Structure 1
Amino acid sequence: MDRRTWPWHSGVMRRFCVVPLLLVLVEAAQKSDLGGDASAALINHSPMLIQRLQDLFHKGNSTDTILRIRTANSDEVKVIHVHQLLLTLQSDIFDGLLLNQSEVTLQEPAECAALFEKFIRYFYCGEISVNLNQAIPLHRLANKYHMTALQRGVTEYMKTHFSSESAQGHVVSWYHYALRMGDINLQESCLKFLAWNLSTIMSSNEWVTVSDKLMVSLLQRSDLVLQSELELFSAVEEWISKNKPDAPVIEKVLRSIRYPMISPSQLFQIQKESAVLASYHNSVQDLMFQAFQFHSASPLHFAKYFDVNCSMFVPRNYLSPSWGSQWIINNPARDDRSLTFQTQLGPSNHDTSKKMTWNALFSPRWLPVSLRPVYSESIPSSSQSNRLEEGKPRLVVTSAMSGMDFAGVTFQKTLLVGVKRQQSKVFVKHVYNVHQSTDEVFDFLLQADLQKRTSEYLIDNSLHLHIIIKPIYHSLIKAK
């Protein structure tokens, strides 16, 4: 999640070493000269060339072009002396701007102008340092001047630093930036991180910066990870109170809350105490009434009259004990482990007292029968050891009550894998979904090296998992 989520140290600097086009051409020419001669060798003085190019930039020797950087509503002009060849070789935009010109004036936003000299230095050495506050302006500059490699590098930096610690938060602003830029890949990465770590986001300073469009996008998702639907309603109410969006937005947001996932006693409470709900009661009255009906009858009977195949009746990834269990596996590279836990049969008040028992099995190096070693004197122990190393982590979740009649409901098993960052916060790095027809979680931690104590998947040499059981209702008889 690769390192895809959960806060890293604030102020951490990430360096991208992207070899400039000039060095790529030089190295390619050198390697082609070697041919197939076994006695040939490559003498590489690229670092020396990079150092000399950096000195050329800092000292300004033999410059032939002047860049003047201006910002709106400011008389300040930043002057940078450059070598046209190095800029035009790597950017077709600069190639066009500097055609038959030795001086050009560029208009840049203040945050981009402040980093423009750092940006130009990249043309000379192919290396740049980035922190959280600099990611957007550097990405904008790379995009504007068609520096594709740098743009990819900054995008990758953003994806691996979603969970880095920052005072005001940054993932929401990165999403809004990606939306403006039309960067679908970055948008989806931001949305996934926000959805999988929503409880943390809702309790941070970022929550009030969420735009109307982002809020609607988040509430439409079933993969939100949070304590309960009631927690989500409370956070949405706070967002509405502080941001005061237009009435159509408020109505759409309130209608995206999954009221059947809230218990009757809690529904009565928010009806009585919520100022937002009081103001927009008519907008959600039908949903509230339907939720109370859902809780008053068995799901099977309810499904005869209402369509339960819609998002309103699909649980999200709730972390409360009624829906699953946390599982911390110490020294996960050693032995097989097992866990038994209980969940409620379903979200309906009709089923909350009914419990389901589940068994989970974790194996760090599971092998199919066909690949398991045969321990005998005829097979060297080294060969047996190599076979064991071919195994992969495996997780199986099965019901201990398979003989019961579960007409009208199937169970989706969701597994969260967490990693820790600053201030002991644990963030979701991977989410795996397994439906009733399958017990085993496929592709489980295929890229994780659990043998290494320094593995990013381990927290103090332990694997942090959370298993969630989600009952999914379906109609046996067409709703009238």
Structure 2
Amino acid sequence: MKRFSPSGQHYPDPSMPPENAPEVTEGQPLTTESKKVKTNQSFESLFDSESLCDVILSVNDGQFVFRGHKMILGLKSEILATMLNELHSSETQSRPVLSLKEAPECSMVFSRFLYFIYSGAVWLHRDYVLPLHSLAEKYQVKPLIQHCHSYISQILFNMIDISDGCRGFSLDIICDIYEGNLYSDEICDLCYKVLCAKFRDLSTSERWPLCSWHLVSDLLKCDDCNAEENVILTSATEWMKKNQLADKNLIEDILVNIRYPLLHRKVLYHLQKNGVFKNFPQVQELVENAVRYHCFKDVPEARDDFVGIQFTKRTIYRTRPNSAENNRMNSPETLSSSSQNLSRSVQSQTHCSPAVFIQNPQPPPVVESQIYSNLIQESPEYLRLREVVPAPPSPPMQPTVSPIPQLYNVSSAANYVQNASVQTGDRSS
């Protein structure tokens, strides 16, 4: 395309290579004397500078005042370009003033937002990345939106691992993000996973009663809700109690998400004996199915009857095993399974001498020494060596204890639901 100067003389098109010369971009081998190079634009030196300033930015009635340049602001943000085009200067002002109303937290980081427009660089930090993201969204500065989005996602992803000691957002902020619907689906999904992983902390915090019904319901449905089922039931009833929930349908929609087969049998007995769910037929049926599960779960013919989400164990995240985990590891079922695995392992290692195997009599941590001794005594070589090397005495088997998990106030939960059943009983008909 030919271009013309006011004098009518032709000048070469600066966007095109010289005539009869192929275009060579940066990074490609140089084949001719023509080469195209490009430098990233940066107006950092003009940030809040008097030089070429043609507009004043006043944030929150003069809380912060910046000297700006219409061309740069309009180039980086179409929203600001529209606002600047509609701006008119008065006779008493040498430069027009663009008044901006921002939330207090956003005004405190407006300088960082404006600096990014001029320089393309910004320091991100968890303490102010969310208001910075809000400014980027408001004025549609897409590169800054992407940087903030990536940084927020990284923080949330690190928070999912509860063993990670890194600091992140508070639970209040994460709940606000999830309930606000102002962020992308990816960020909301990460917030949901964080709240599931930190359910114990959330359910005992001051924020828990302030959570929306939708958030509580969503958390109770999740397979990754990080708490024992008794804690989940107690937390749900405490939330309903503090919010004085009286709508039968909303109460039932929460209670059906409790996985009753995972509760202790004594808890189920208490719930069924007192008729806690008599006015909630769907929940009452779940409790009865849970009772049948505890009665017949060991019957092979009944296994197909106990399938579905109600019988699916939730994922429990722990940084280290607690006493309940130790009881589970020492349960008869686990010991039996471990002994069978060890027996198969011994039978498969035909190249090993039985004497070598006996030389190191320490069993795996999960297998009790008595079970280990019984397996070894099946070896003929052991019977021969026993006369020379007596077997060490076996420690007594520790009784398996299955107490009701801690932190469960079944009476409080049952009483609330029972009172709710009475109050909503007439409406159910």
TM-score range, shorter chain: 0.5 to 0.7
Residue 260 (structure 1) shift: 0.7
Partner of 2:50: 60
* Residues 190 and 67 of structure 1, relative CA distance in 2, 3 Å threshold: same
CA distance in 1, matches of 2:324, 2:341: 11
Return the structure number with greater strand share.
1
Which has the higher Rg, Structure 1 or Structure 2? 2
Structure 2 runs not aligned, ≥5 long: 1-14, 16-23, 88-95, 160-165, 343-366, 368-429
Runs of 4+ aligned residues of structure 1 deviating over 4 Å after TM superposition are 38-46, 75-78, 203-206, 269-273, 299-304, 319-326, 341-345, 352-355
Partner of 2:67: 81
Superposed, 1:257-296 pairs within 5 Å as 257-268=258-269, 282-283=279-280, 284-296=283-295
* Residues 134 and 242 of structure 1, relative CA distance in 2, 3 Å threshold: farther
Superposed, 1:62-211 pairs within 5 Å as 62-70=52-60, 78-99=64-85, 101=87, 102-162=96-156, 163=159, 164-165=166-167, 168-169=170-171, 170-177=173-180, 180-181=181-182, 183-211=184-212
Amino acid of the residue matched to residue 65 of structure 1?
V
Is residue 2:32 matched to residue 1:32? no
Residue 34 (structure 1) shift: 6.6
Question: What is the CA deviation profile of residues 417-440 of structure 1, one whole-angstrom value per residue up to 9, with x for unaligned ones?
Answer: xxxxxxxxxxxxxxxxxxxxxxxx
* Residues 156 and 231 of structure 1, relative CA distance in 2, 3 Å threshold: same
> Residue 329 of structure 2 contacts residue 335 of structure 2 at CA under 8 Å; is this kept in 1?
no
> Residue 26 of structure 2 contacts residue 37 of structure 2 at CA under 8 Å; is this kept in 1?
no
State the TM-score, normalized to the length of structure 1: 0.51
Residue 62 (structure 1) shift: 2.2
CA distance in 1, matches of 2:117, 2:142: 12
Amino acid of the residue matched to residue 179 of structure 2?
H
* Residues 76 and 95 of structure 1, relative CA distance in 2, 3 Å threshold: closer
State the TM-score, normalized to the length of structure 2: 0.56
Structure 1 runs not aligned, ≥5 long: 1-24, 26-30, 327-340, 346-351, 361-399, 401-480
CA distance in 2, matches of 1:108, 1:359: 65
* Residues 290 and 87 of structure 1, relative CA distance in 2, 3 Å threshold: same
CA distance in 1, matches of 2:38, 2:341: 58
Q: Highest relative contact order (Cα 8 Å, sep 6+), 1 or 2?
A: 1
> Residue 136 of structure 1 contacts residue 174 of structure 1 at CA under 8 Å; is this kept in 2?
no
CA distance in 1, matches of 2:51, 2:273: 75
Secondary structure of 1:181's partner? coil
> Residue 48 of structure 2 contacts residue 68 of structure 2 at CA under 8 Å; is this kept in 1?
no
Residue 246 (structure 1) shift: 5.5
> Residue 224 of structure 2 contacts residue 316 of structure 2 at CA under 8 Å; is this kept in 1?
no
Partner of 1:313: 311
Superposed, 1:211-222 pairs within 5 Å as 211-222=212-223
* Residues 319 and 193 of structure 1, relative CA distance in 2, 3 Å threshold: closer
Secondary structure of 1:172's partner? helix
> Residue 194 of structure 1 contacts residue 201 of structure 1 at CA under 8 Å; is this kept in 2?
yes
The sequence identity of aligned pairs, in percent, is: 22
Q: How many residues are treated as equivalent by the alignment? A: 295
* Residues 246 and 109 of structure 1, relative CA distance in 2, 3 Å threshold: farther
Residue 325 (structure 1) shift: 6.9
* Residues 181 and 79 of structure 1, relative CA distance in 2, 3 Å threshold: same
Partner of 1:348: none
Partner of 2:240: 240
Question: What's the Cα RMSD here?
Answer: 4.3
Is residue 2:256 matched to residue 1:255? yes
* Residues 238 and 165 of structure 1, relative CA distance in 2, 3 Å threshold: farther
Question: What is the CA deviation profile of residues 125-177 of structure 1, one whole-angstrom value per residue up to 9, with x for unaligned ones?
Answer: 22223333423222221112112221122122222223353695332222223
CA distance in 1, matches of 2:258, 2:136: 40
* Residues 156 and 39 of structure 1, relative CA distance in 2, 3 Å threshold: same
CA distance in 2, matches of 1:144, 1:174: 16
